[in-house]
Chain A
Amino acid sequence: MEKCFHCGDDCLDGVIEHHDKPFCCHGCKTVYDILHDNDLSYYYDLENTPGTSPKEIAGKFDFLDNESIAEKLLEFNDGNTQIASFLIPSIHCSSCIWVLENLNKLNKGVSVSTVNFPEKTVRVTFCSETVSLKELVLLLSRIGYEPYISLENSEKKEKTINRDLLYKLGVAGFAFGNVMLLSFPEYFEVEEFWLDRFKVVFRWLMFAFSVPVVVYSARSYFVSAFKGLRAGFLNIDVPIAIGIFVLFVRSTLDIAFDWGSGFFDSLTGLVFFLLLGKFFQQKTYAFLSFERDYKSYFPIAVTKLSKSSAGVQFEEQTPVYEVQKGDRLLIRNNELIPVDAILIKGNALIDYSFVTGEAQPVEKGSGDKLFAGGRQQAGILEVEVLKPVEQSYLTQLWSNDVFSKGHEGVFESLTDSISKRFTVAVLSIAFLSTIIWLIIDPGKAFNVFTAVLIVACPCAIALAAPFTLGNMLRIFGKRKLYLKEASVIEQMAKVDTVVFDKTGTLTSNKKNHITYEGVELSTAEKELLTSTLRASNHPLSRALYDVLDHHNIQTLDEFEEEVGKGISAMVDSQTIKIGSSAFVGNFGEGAGVVSETLDKTTVHISSNNQYKGCYVFHTEYRDGMGEIFHELKQHGKKLVVLSGDNEGERSRLEKLLPAGTDLIFNQKPEDKLRFIKKLKESGQTVMMVGDGLNDAGALKQSDVGIVISEDINVFSPACDGILDASNFQELMWFFSRAAKSIQIIKWAFIFSLFYNLIGLSFAVTGHLQPVVAAILMPLSSISIVVFTTVAVKWHTRTP
């Protein structure tokens, strides 16, 4: 099958030839034309099939006509020049960067556009007299780069990028390099004449370089150690802070009283390496957000129906936050209902799968209550608002304490638990050896005391976890599990209970497993069926259409869709009815089939008023689901399936999943949250695997919340990690590597303790020369970095 020249998809609906190139749809062809006409066809030379087909956008961005909404999206506005940043999820290659940075070729109003590829944003400076914000958004959408605008955008927040660590790292690196140079001469020649004359200058210069390192670069360690001590908690920063402080004081005294050259080289090196570890561990997925709530899922504005003073009804775009009880709203096809409301007019077919976990769309008639978060799938609706957005049923979930408090209790990392014992041990060795030296030779006691504290500074221990977990984090990322931060891996290793959501998590919403029951359809009937389904927008029609062969698409002579019932169509005096059992007139012998399939979704067919049979939709579980459950079971994990759906699938799940798996149905979002809370209170470490807004509370409440996502660029609720659905089968792999990481860290601890023992033997005996410290410290740090990196690579080399 031919591939589209623009988007690279298979041309399913026939090929559109244009300029000797194949296109899958008019949308793709149009984008090609726009780019070609404006001499931007270099777009297609940079990468093969770089495009995305543009989506239907008629009316979608009308709210940008409302100036108060448009104003919220602008970063800068002086009346003429305006600057706006857009999040564009479809940015994915260098062609995208190129075409978006050449927007000024497409519209003269644009002066500069800059892409930030890792964040998938484009920042556009434009002249508002030539092009309005709406025109700009429409232009972007028309070439396949539709900006993602949600309720989140309405809260203007100052973009603060924390660059502190980079500054600190820069200062520490600068000082480290210079101090190393200055201290180098004294490593070898101590009694040399010229050196003796200039060493005072050299030493005080080193002192000057070290001051900003201690005062500025290392400040966070002092702060953290102080906070830890005040909370009665000996974290790893305590011995580090002691080490840095003692290093600085001892070195200053050394040079002030000419006892020696001081340890400024070790001091600056230590801080530099520590900060390097921190830098390495920093989060790396700028384009993913792990802190989202319903706001980034909800629209920024809705169409409100207002009456003018003359009594004429008119449409008006209103910010969602300004919607009041009693307002009339217009919800178009595929739009999200942002508030709880009552249906007034129209046929509602609402997809709640993301909110409640119900797999199939629900039909509603006028007078029925609609909940916020549902997506309309059939035609236009008119609704009356019951509650404003913050008080809606769904958004209430976010007022739960979990969302304001964050994770309960302080998570004690492996490093912290080691450092507790380590600090106590080091302090007792230091005092003990000081007492002994006070007896033997009081003059050396101070020397020994400080030397022990210096050499025991747990630089290598502090580096083991950042480098192991940081490396692991990157490797997980390559396998499409994107974690929020490195400490999640440590938590993962402790998990003993895994809770799964069903809809969207265990089931795939892309694929449907559909079987046919009844009388075999003739070729002509099949062709008519596909032609009819093609014309329908109903999700079931779409799903069915996708699995059938698309030969001989005919033009229908007659087509009628009765919402909530079914569709009827006619070609060449041959009629077909597709829909519910009653609609197609199934009262005869086929009625028996219906009773058997009561729990399942079915689409019935009759041809020329004769009942033929029905298509049964089975929920399709992800490939390898059973195996994963069995594997997890073998590794002693307790498994639970928590579903918002009804019990219809219980017997099938029981067959697929290992015995002992708890299956709990009919769970509301708060029920899920409470369930996880109860598990945690009984002392278990829980991982929640979910996908939708209905899992948001449970994800937040659990120790590790992982979201399964078919497309990582679209919205996912707040969590600790996002797993690409295609790699769902590898869940066990991630678990086992998380456990391996902990082992590696433990080995690295033993390794670094060994270095500490060597250093201590020098220190306790009073022989610690600056040159020994200067060799030992970087050596231990570097060897830990090498060891952890190699070990992680080794353990993740094979699948």
Chain B
Amino acid sequence: MSIIYVLLAISVSVALVFLCAFLFSVKKGQYDDTYTPSVRMLFEDELVKEGASATQSSTSGNHTNNHTEKHS
């Protein structure tokens, strides 16, 4: 029956591993924002649609500058 010592040691160390994992995740800030990740994981990864070129992006900044006034 001394096997029980081994079993106890295993069960306690497994529990300790999970406790450490929890403490570590809290420390890393995983519980600071519990909402955004739940939305983020549903986004598609591939954003670029077929035939699109990535070079456009740098020019988009300036030509829009003068039109942003909202007429209300």
B29: A residues at CB distance < 8 A? 161
B-contact 0/1 string along A22-51, CB 8 Å cutoff: 000111111001100111101000000000
Contact between B60 and A37, CB atoms less than 8 A apart? yes
Asked, given contacts A54-B68, A142-B68, whether A194 binds B57 with beta carbons under 8 Å apart, the answer is no
Q: Measured between alpha carbons, how far is A166 from B29 in the docked complex, in Å?
A: 11
Q: Which residues of B contact A33 (CB under 8 A)?
A: 64
Give B33's nearest chain A residue, CB to CB: A116
CA distance A163 to B34 in the complex (A): 14
Q: Residues 26-64 of chain B: 1 if any A CB is under 8 Å from the residue's CB, otherwise 0?
A: 110101111110011011100111001010111011001
Complex formed: what's the CA distance from A161 to B44 in Å? 31
- Mark each residue of chain A from 100 to 124: 1 if its CB lies under 8 Å from any CB of chain B, else 0: 0110011110000011111100000
Q: Which of A13, A34, A116, A174 contacts B72 (CB 8 A)?
A: A13
Once the chains bind, are B40 and A42 in contact (CB under 8 Å)? no
Evaluate contact between A116 and B36: CB separation under 8 angstroms: yes
Contact with B along A266-290 (1 / 0, CB 8 A): 0000000000000000000000000
Contact, CB under 8 Å: A38 / B31: no
Contacts of B54 in A (CB 8 A): 105
Known A-B contacts A42-B47, A107-B57; the reply to A27 vs B26 at CB < 8 A is: no
Cα distance A565–B48 when bound, in Å?
Answer: 56
Expressed in whole angstroms, the Cα–Cα distance for A177 and B44 within the complex equals 39
Which range holds the interface residue count of chain B? 35 or more
B5, B15, B47, B68 — which one has the most chain A CB atoms within 10 A of its CB? Answer: B68
**Given A25-B71, A30-B64, A170-B19, A39-B48 contact (CB < 8 Å):** yes
The answer to whether the Cβ of A750 comes within 8 Å of any Cβ in the partner chain is no
- Whether the pair B47, A39 counts as a contact (CB closer than 8 A) is yes
In the bound complex, residues from chain B placing their C-beta under 8 Å from that of A116 are: 32-33, 36
The answer to whether B35 touches A117 (Cβ under 8 A) is: yes
Q: Report Cα–Cα, A102/B45, bound state, in Å.
A: 10
**1/0 contact trace for B11-30 toward A, CB 8 Å?**
11001001100110011010
Given known A-B contacts A139-B61, A163-B26, A178-B15, A98 and B70 have beta carbons under 8 A apart: no
Rounded to whole Å, the gap between the CB of A183 and the closest CB of chain B is 14
Nearest residue in B to A118 (C-beta to C-beta)?
Answer: B35
Among A39, A106, A171, the one with the most B-chain Cβ atoms within 10 Å of its Cβ is A39
Q: How far is the CA of A72 from the CA of B11 in the complex (A)?
A: 51
**B47 CB contact (under 8 Å) in A40, A161, A197:** A40
Q: Smallest Cβ distance from B18 to chain A, in angstroms?
A: 8
Binding site for A on B (CB under 8 A): 1, 4-5, 8, 11-12, 15, 18-19, 22-23, 26-27, 29, 31-36, 39-40, 42-44, 47-49, 52, 54, 56-58, 60-61, 64-65, 67-72
Using a CB–CB cutoff of 8 Å, the interface residues on chain A facing chain B are: 12-13, 25-30, 33-34, 37-40, 42, 53-57, 94, 97-98, 101-102, 105-108, 114-119, 135, 139, 142, 161, 163, 166-167, 170-171, 174, 177-178, 181, 194, 197-198, 201, 205
Known: A27-B70, A174-B19; 11 extra A-B contacts, CB below 8 A, are: A25-B72, A54-B68, A105-B57, A107-B61, A114-B36, A116-B36, A118-B34, A135-B61, A163-B31, A198-B4, A201-B5
